[in-house]
């Protein structure tokens, strides 16, 4: 049991890792998410199938309706690889957010893509510099290209995963900036969970946006949704990095602690 939830571990033929190692991996991942959500894991139980993959290391995962995950793990996957894994956290996070129409997967996939490193950094499983370095390298992939019609109507891989992640980054940043860090994406997601918003219920993007605004007492969700989802708006990443004190350094990032919103940057992964 972690955060009041039970996790049923199921192995396919010829298990790739020992049951003890898998249990530690699951408990660690669930504990990080439980901390983010304030002490409770959002769904009461989860079936997790561990099946053998073709390559060493943790492979891709799948999620179904807040009830079941399947993760592929290659032979000879080490304890260190499991400890630094992101896939289990990414898939578990899907269970914690309302299920949306299939054509609007960008909101779900984007959230897990954005939130996974945040959750891990808060728990000390990932260094903040690694989080920001990953975002510096990848967030621009999610910006609209020629012919884009906004996140609601453009369903490429880049827009689904990194466009969705960009949407949530902007929401988190704008909430913190407008409220002097009193409100954040964490505030909104915990409120959505308290309203029963997990993957076991069907919502629409409009319902998520309305709940986010109401929970935070702002119009950030609706403003960003109009700008980036209903229209092919771009995010001013360079301006955001400057305000937060994130200095791109090749494929990595370093920090300027004299930047005007440096404390917000620290708070986002603390």
Tens-place pLDDT, residues 90-116: 999 999 999 999 999 999 999 999 999
**CB count, 10 Å around CB of 84?**
12
Q: Which of 67, 213, 185 is nearest to 115 (CA)?
A: 185
Whether residues 179 and 73 share a domain: the answer is no
Q: How many domains does the chain have?
A: 2
| Closest alpha carbon to 112 in 99, 125, 124 | 99
The Cα–Cα gap between 43 and 198 comes to: 7
> Could you list the pLDDT tens digit for every one of the 270 residues in the chain?
999 999 999 997 888 889 999 999 999 999 999 999 999 999 999 999 999 988 889 999 999 999 999 999 998 899 999 999 999 999 999 999 999 999 999 999 999 999 999 999 999 999 999 999 999 999 999 999 999 999 999 999 999 999 999 999 999 999 999 999 999 999 999 999 999 999 999 999 999 999 999 999 999 999 999 999 999 999 999 999 999 999 999 888 999 999 999 999 999 998
pLDDT value of position 32? 98
* Residue 65: inside a domain: yes
Global pTM value: 0.96
Considering the domain boundaries, does residue 156 fall inside one? yes
> What stretch of H or E contains 267?
helix 262-268
Q: pLDDT tens across 74-83, in order? A: 988 999 999 9
Q: What is the per-residue pLDDT for 252?
A: 87
Q: What is the pLDDT of residue 75?
A: 87
Chain centre distance of CA 24: 21
Residues 107 and 51 in one domain: no
Distance spanning both ends of the chain, measured CA to CA: 25
Phi–psi pair at 255, nearest 5 degrees: -115, 145
Strand partners, 7: 46
Q: Which domain holds residue 75?
A: 6-95
Question: Residue 1 domain-assigned?
Answer: no
Residue that finishes a domain, picked among 62, 78, 95: 95
Same domain, 45 and 161: no
- Which whole-number Å values give the CA distances from 155 to 119, 164, 245, in the listed order? 26, 10, 32
Query: Pick from 111, 65, 106: which is nearest to 89 by CA?
Result: 111
Task: Please indicate, yes or no, whether residues 260 and 175 belong to a single structural domain of this protein.
Answer: yes
């Amino acid at each position: 049991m972690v955060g009041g939830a039970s996790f049923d571990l199921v192995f396919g033929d010829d298990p790739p890792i020992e049951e003890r190692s898998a249990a530690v991996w699951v408990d660690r991942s669930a504990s990080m998410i439980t901390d983010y959500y304030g002490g409770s894991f959002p769904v009461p139980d989860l079936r997790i199938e561990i099946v053998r993959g073709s390559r060493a290391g943790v492979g891709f995962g799948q999620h179904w309706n807040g009830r079941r995950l399947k993760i592929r793990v290659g032979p000879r996957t080490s304890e260190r690889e499991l400890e630094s894994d992101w896939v289990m956290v990414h898939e578990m996070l899907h269970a914690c957010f309302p299920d949306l129409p299939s054509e609007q997967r960008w909101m779900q996939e984007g959230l897990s893509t954005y939130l996974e490193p945040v959750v891990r950094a808060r728990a000390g499983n990932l260094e903040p510099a690694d989080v920001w370095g990953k975002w510096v390298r990848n967030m621009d992939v999610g910006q609209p290209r020629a012919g884009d019609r906004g996140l609601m109507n453009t369903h490429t891989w880049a827009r689904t995963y990194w466009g969705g992640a960009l949407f949530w980054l902007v929401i988190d940043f704008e909430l913190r900036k407008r409220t002097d860090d009193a409100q954040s994406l964490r505030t909104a997601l915990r409120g959505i969970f308290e309203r029963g918003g997990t993957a076991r219920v069907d919502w629409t993007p409009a319902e998520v946006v309305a709940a986010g605004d109401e929970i935070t007492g702002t119009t950030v969700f609706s403003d960003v949704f109009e700008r980036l989802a209903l229209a092919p708006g771009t995010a001013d990443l360079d301006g955001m990095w400057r305000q937060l004190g994130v200095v791109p350094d090749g494929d990595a990032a370093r920090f300027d602690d004299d930047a005007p919103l440096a404390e917000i940057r620290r708070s986002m992964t603390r």
